[in-house]
Amino acid sequence: MKNINKLMAALGGATLVTGLAIPAASAQEGEWDIAGFVENATYYRDGQDLSKVRNTGQFEFSKDFGKKFGLSNFRVSGTLRATYDAVYDINDDEWGDEAGGARNFENADSITAQAVFGGDGSSPWGGSLLSGGVPGPGFGFDLSRNPNEGLKVLGEDYASPRGGVTIGVPVRPCDEDSRGCGLDDYMDYDKNDLRFPEFNDELDFIRELYVEGAIPTGDTSELFLRIGKQQVVWGRTDLFRVLDIINPVDFSRHNIYDELEDIRIPQWIATAEYRWGATDWFEDLNVQLVWNFDEFRPNDLGQGGTPYSILDAGSFFRAMNNCWENGCTVSNFAPAAAANPVDPGFLAADFAPGVIGIRDVELPDGHDQGGIKMEGVFRSVGFSLNYYHFYQQLPVLRGGIPAQNPFTGEVGVWDRLIAFDIEFPEVDLFGGSLDFYIDPIKTVFRVEATYTTGEEFANTLEDKLYSDSDVFRWVLGIDRNTFIPFLNKNRAFLISGQIFGQHLLDHEKEQALLGEIGMPDWDDNYIATLLIKGWWKSDTISPQIITAWDYEAEAGTFAPSVDWLISDNWRLIFGANIKFGDGMQDQEFDDCRSCNPFPGFTGPPNQTQSLGLSGIQPLGRFRSGPLGSASQEDEIQITIRYRF
Amino acid sequence: MFKKTFTTVAMAAALGVSQVQAATMEDVERSFYPYKDGGPTFEGLAPGMTINSGNVAQFKEILDAAMFQKISDGWLEMTVGETTSFDLHPNYVQATRDNLGQVSLGNELGQINGFVAGRPFPEEPDENDPRAGEKLSWNYKYGYNWGDNAAIAPFYWKFRDMESGKIERTIKFNFHFLNFKHRVNQDPVPEFADNPSNLFRGIYVQVIEPFDVKNTQLLIHRSDDDLVRDNTWLYLGFQRRVRRLSSGQITDSFLGSDLMIEDFEGYNGRISDMNWTYKGTVNVMLPFYNHNALTLATDMVEKDGYQFVDFSGKGGCFPNITWQLRRAHILESDPTDDNHPISKRVHYIDAQTFTIPRTLIYDRKGDLWKSFIIGQAHPDHHLEKNKGTGVSIDDSFSQVDMQAGHCTTGQFKGQLDPAMNPPKLFTVQNMRAKGR
C-alpha cells in the first residue's frame, strides 16, 4: 500500500534536480558505493488544496573495507536525507502562519444561547455563557493570552460537532503560535521543524550510519555485528506492523501510506547475530540480539495544523495542552438547564487553565529497549520466534493528575477528570512468524502473531480513564502471481491480500444510561488489504490498485496509481488516495461529559462512573481508526524522482 | 532404500528402459572429446568468413530456423570461427568414468538412481529410447556448467528496443552459483556435510544498479530430489524484507526483462516440470569462442582491464562473437503445467559441454516467441583466474522477443573463484544482511 502513495511529483523539482545531478557511481570492490535521488512530491487534497509539496534529497553511501578490526567484510554504510516541504509556505493559510482563524463553539439546541448569540446559537472562543467565574473560579480564561485567532474546531475538517464536545485547536506552527506546544519535545514543531523535518536535535538528516562486520566461526557460521543508527526490520507484513516494531514510525510524513523504509525513525541500535547457516535440522538458523541504546522516541503522529496527523491525535493533544496551559472553550459541555431550567440544550464552557487538558509528557529515557529473535528455515518453512521489550510507541493519556476544581478552586486529584499526562508504558512482546508456499494453489502464505503485555488504552470505566490490556495481534497474508493473458501474456499480476486481526484480552465496555462506556478501542477488529499490481513495457510502467478496509470502522481507502520509470534516472508516479465508507463522524463514544468528576457539581454525589453521554470527539477517533479518521483526505498525488 | 531401488529398476526394466545399451568407456571418451579427430565441416564454410543475408541460403542446413531467418532478414551477420574443443575439467570426466553404468532413470519423470557425480548418461542418445530426452536433461542438470561454483560479477543486462536500438534500461547484477552436492573439484567433495534439505544447488543474485531495484536479491534453493519444488526468495530493497516467491514468479518476466527465472542458463527449473523429447543430433552453428580474441566493448571497462562482449546488429541485440560448427542434441521440452506461459522450448544442447547455447521458445499458441543465445567462452582465453578450470563460461546472452521487437542482452564477467561463493552467501539471512 505504501508503494502506492509514494506518489506524485511536482514539476518544480526539475530545476532542482538538474542542479544536483551527480554522475552515476559504479562501485567496484573497495570503492565507495554511492547513490541517491532528488524528488518532488506534490499532493492535492480535496477541500484543502495542496497538502504536500515535499522536496527530498537522499544520499546513500557504503564501503566494504575487507578485513578490519578482527572482522571480515568490515563495512561502513550511511544514508543522509534532507527534506523541504514547501506546503507550509505555499499553502500557509491552511498549514502555515495564516492557518485557522476565529471560531465559534456549538451550544446545541440551547434556546438560551440562541437568544444571546443569535444565528445558530454558537458562542465565540472564550465567550461562552459559562465563563468569567460563572459558575466558579475555574471557568473563563484570558483572551489576551489565548485569543480567538489561529484556531480550528477540533474535528471541523471531518464533521460538525453534532451536539458533542469540541475544543479549539491552535493550528499555526509553534513559533507563530505557541499555544498547545507546551509538551516538552513532543508535538512542539515550529515552522522550520515542519518544513525541514530532518534538521532537529536528533540529527534525523542522518537517516542511517552504521558499521558492521562478521567474525567467522566456521565454514558456514559467523557472528555478525552491526552498530549505529539503523533500521532493524522484523516481520513479513506490508502496510501495518505486527512484528516490525523496533523502530518507531513517522506518520507525519504521509500517514500510513509511505513505504516503511522511508518512515521508520532510525535509532542507535546494536545488533549481534549468530548465523549457523545450515545445521542438522534447519536449512538456515540464526539468533539475533537487539539492543536499542538510543533515547526513546515515540511514533511521530504529526501535530495540530499539519496535513498528516494520524487519527487527528495531534490536534486533540494540542487542543488539550492549550486547555491546560491557557484555558479553552469546550462546546456542548454542560446541560443548558444549569443556566436556564427550561433549556433542553447544551452550553459551551470556558475552562480556566489547570482544570482540564494535558499537562505534561513523560518521555522515558530509553536506552533499555531490546530483544531477541530466532529465525530460520525448517523443512522449507520460514519461521521466527521473537521477544522484544520496549516502550509503547503510541501515547496513552493517564488521568489522576492534580487539577483545579473549577467550581471551588480547590486543587486535588479528581477521579474521572479529563486532565492527563501523556505516558509511554513499558511493553513486552512475544511473537512469531511463518512463511510457506503451497504449490498446488501456487500461493505463498505469510503469518505473524504477537502477544503483548503492558499496553494501555483509554478506558472511561476507570477512575484514571485508562487501563492496560494484553493484546493479541495477527496477520495472514497471501501472495499469488497470476497470469491474466488477455491483459498481459508476458507478465503475471501480483495479487497480495492480508487480513490483520487485533484482540484486546482485557477489553472493558459496558452499557450505561446514556451510552456505552469503557474502552473506545474495539474488542476485536480486522483490517483487510488487497494489492493488485501489473507491469508492462519491461516493467517501466506499473499500475496498481491498493485497497484497505477496516471492518469495525466500516471505512476503507482505494488507492490507484501508475508508476512510470521514464529512464534509469527519471521516475514519475501518478496516483490517488480515495477514502470510502464511514468517517469519524460516524463514530461516537463516551466523551466523559457525564463522568461526574466533581460530584455535587457535575452530577449526583453518589454517581461514580460515566453515564455514557457520547460524541464524536474525542474518542471516536479510536473507533474510526487510521482509515476512517482520514475520511476527508482524498488526494491526487504526483511524485517525480531523479536518481543518481 | 534397497527395496525402493530394486523396485524402481525392476519397473524400469519392465518398461523397456533397460533395453537401451549400457554406456561404455568409449562412450565417455566420445562424449567429452568429440573433436579429438577434428571438428565437423560443411561445404563452403571456413573460419574467418561471414554468413550474412547474401550467402545464408547456402548454410541453411547448419543454422537453426530462427537464426536462419534473422540472418536472412539482415538482423545480424555471423562470423565463423574454428571449431575448438572445450574440454571439461578432468575431475568431472573422471567422475563420469568412476560412476559409469551406475546411473539409471527412476520410474517417474524427475527420478534418477545411483548418481554420484559426473555426466549421468554419457552414451549417445538413442532415437529409439523413449526417455532419451530425459537423460539429456539430466546431463544438463548435472553438467559442469559453472563448475562446483562460480560468480558472474558484474553482470550487465540491457533492455533494448529492437526498432530504435534504444537501451531502455541497464541493470547491473552479481550472480553466484554453488553446488552443494555432486562436486568434483573443490573441497568438500562430493558434497557439503550440513545440508539438511538435501540441496543440489544454490543460486544467489544481487542487483547493484540502478537505484530503484538496488539491493533486490534473489535466492534459489534447488533440491537434489527433483520432485521437490525449488524454494525461492526475493529481497526487496525498498521493503527491507525477504519475500518467498511462488513458482508462478519463476515463469514471470524477471525484473521486466525478456527472461524469466526459468530461462536462466537455458533452462533453470526441475526436470519434472517438463516433458523431454530428443529430436536428433545435428551439426549446427553455435556461439562458442575465445573471449580474449574478440573485439570487445570499450565501455564499462573493469579496474582489472576486463572488457565485456560488445553487441551490434538489429537494435544492438546480437553479440559480436564468433560461431563454431558443433555437434548439438536437439531437445524439446514442453511444460507439464497446462498454465505455463510457454508451449515448448527447443534447446540446442552442445554435445561436448552440455551447455545450452541456443534455445527457441514458443508461446502458448505455438508461435515462436523468443530466441535465446548464450555465448560460450573458452576458459583458457578469458580471465587469468579462469584458465585451466575446464568450464565452458557463459559469457554473453541475447534474448530476443520476436513478437514484441524487443530484446535483453547480457554481458558477463564470469569468475571461477570459490572465495566469491561461500555457502553462507546462499542463505536467507544473508539476504537480510546484504540488504540495508
- Name the residue range of residue B126's domain: 2-35+85-136
Per-residue model confidence as pLDDT tens digits over A297-342: 999 999 999 999 999 999 999 999 999 999 999 999 999 998 889 9
Judging by DSSP bridges, how do beta strands B167-179 and A222-230 pair with one another?
A: unpaired
CA distance B380 to chain A (A): 24
Query: Is there a domain that residue B168 lies in?
Result: no
CA distances in angstroms from B264 to A10, B148, B257, B311, B427, listed in the order given: 40, 17, 12, 20, 20
Residue B242 pLDDT > 60: yes
DSSP states of B29-52: HHHH-TTTT-----TT--TT-EE-
Cβ–Cβ gap B246/A443 under 8 Å: yes
Nearest CB partner across the interface for A643, out of B211, B242, B243:
B211
What are the chain A neighbours of B235 within 8 Å (beta carbons)? Answer: none
Q: What is the pLDDT of residue A219?
A: 75
Q: To 10 degrees, what angle do helices B25-32 and B90-98 make?
A: 160
Q: Which domains does chain A have, with CATH numbers?
A: 3-95+203-294+364-393+425-643 (2.40.160.10)
Question: Does residue B198 belong to the interface with chain A, where contact is any CB pair within 8 Å?
Answer: no
Cβ–Cβ gap B170/A377 under 8 Å: no
Average per-residue pLDDT for chain B: 92
Query: Is there a domain that residue B102 lies in?
Result: yes
Per-residue model confidence as pLDDT tens digits over A409-442: 999 999 999 999 999 999 999 999 999 999 889 8
Nearest CB partner across the interface for A538, out of B245, B257, B363:
B257
Query: Is there a domain that residue B285 lies in?
Result: no
Q: What is the pLDDT of residue B248?
A: 66
CA distances in angstroms from A458 to A323, A390, A510, A521, A621, listed in the order given: 19, 20, 14, 8, 12
Whether the CB-CB separation of B359 and B345 falls below 8 Å is answered with yes
CA distances in angstroms from B413 to A25, B152, B202, B213, B311, listed in the order given: 19, 5, 19, 21, 15
- Looking at residue B94, what DSSP letter applies? H
Residue A18 pLDDT > 60: no
- Which grid cell is B345? 522450448
Question: Does residue B367 belong to the interface with chain A, where contact is any CB pair within 8 Å?
Answer: no
Nearest CB partner across the interface for B241, out of A77, A236, A437:
A236
CA distances in angstroms from B291 to A124, A225, B148, B322, B409, listed in the order given: 85, 41, 22, 9, 16
DSSP states of A589-630: EE-STTS-SSTTTSS-TT--S----EESTTTHHHHHHHHHTT
Q: What is the pLDDT of residue B20?
A: 55
Query: Is there a domain that residue B276 lies in?
Result: no
Residue B83 pLDDT > 90: yes
pLDDT band at A85 (very low <50, low <70, confident <90, very high): very high
Per-residue model confidence as pLDDT tens digits over B132-187: 999 999 999 999 999 999 999 999 999 999 999 999 999 999 999 999 999 999 99
DSSP-derived 3-state class of residue B419 = helix
Q: What is the pLDDT of residue A400?
A: 96
Query: Is there a domain that residue B109 lies in?
Result: yes
Separation between Cα atoms, residue A3 and residue A1, nearest integer Å: 5
What is the helix (H) or strand (E) element at residue B231, kind and residue range? strand B231-236
Question: Does residue B339 belong to the interface with chain A, where contact is any CB pair within 8 Å?
Answer: yes
Whole-structure pTM value: 0.87
Query: Is there a domain that residue B336 lies in?
Result: no
Whether the CB-CB separation of A357 and A328 falls below 8 Å is answered with yes
Per-residue model confidence as pLDDT tens digits over B386-403: 999 999 999 999 999 999
Question: How many domains does chain B fold into?
Answer: 1
Within 8 A by CB and 6+ apart from A265, the residues are A204, A247, A248, A249, A250, A297, A299, A300
Question: Does residue A215 belong to the interface with chain B, where contact is any CB pair within 8 Å?
Answer: no
Cβ–Cβ gap B209/A26 under 8 Å: yes
Mean pLDDT of A159-173: 93
* B230 → chain A, closest CA residue: A380
User: ω into residue A618 within 30 of 0, thus cis?
Assistant: yes
Per-residue model confidence as pLDDT tens digits over A195-222: 999 999 999 999 999 999 999 998 778 9
Of B28, B269, B274, which is closest to residue B131 (Cα–Cα)?
B274
Mean pLDDT of B45-71: 97
Q: What is the ipTM of this complex?
A: 0.81
Query: Is there a domain that residue B154 lies in?
Result: no
Residue B4 pLDDT > 80: no
Query: Is there a domain that residue B162 lies in?
Result: no
pLDDT band at B21 (very low <50, low <70, confident <90, very high): low
- Looking at residue A37, what DSSP letter applies? E
